[in-house]
Structure 1
Amino acid sequence: RTRNQARQDVFDYIECFYNPTRRHSTLGYLSPMDFEKQAHVA
């Protein structure tokens, strides 16, 4: 594997998995995905 492939893998993990599922204090400790679901229901 090359360094560029490793960078892309890390970026994909952070942007596609970690950030959408981690809890954010500014969203009332909801994940962005849960916050959006809640907003659509309301």
Structure 2
Amino acid sequence: MRRTAERINYHHSYSRKGCPYDNEGIESFHALLKKEHVSQRPIYQTFEEARRQIFSYVQGFYNNHRIHSALAYLSPVEF
């Protein structure tokens, strides 16, 4: 896997042992996505339906209207 990453000029993110904070942002996003969107919906019938619904949530709500503590409790649009 390392050779493949080097061949395509991909740089993997590693943190030092015992430091979980490098993935903190994306893990927080995934938790919110599951809590605010995925668990509120019926089971997706197809992968394409899931992709469209999640894209709609991210672009229509999360990126435009949801407040973020890292942005002084403003939405990205307001910030």
TM band (smaller chain): 0.5 to 0.7
- Give the aligned CA root-mean-square deviation in angstroms: 1.8
- The structure whose RCO (Cα within 8 Å, separation 6+) is larger is 1
1:16-38 Cα offsets, whole Å, 9 max, x none, are 000002457xx766324435xxx
Is the helix fraction higher in 1 or 2? 1
What is the aligned residue count?
35
- 5+ residue gaps, structure 1, are 36-42
Question: Quick check: which has more Rg, 1 or 2?
Answer: 2
- 5+ residue gaps, structure 2, are 1-44
Q: TM-score, structure 2 length as denominator?
A: 0.35
Q: TM-score, structure 1 length as denominator?
A: 0.53
Q: Report the identity percentage.
A: 48
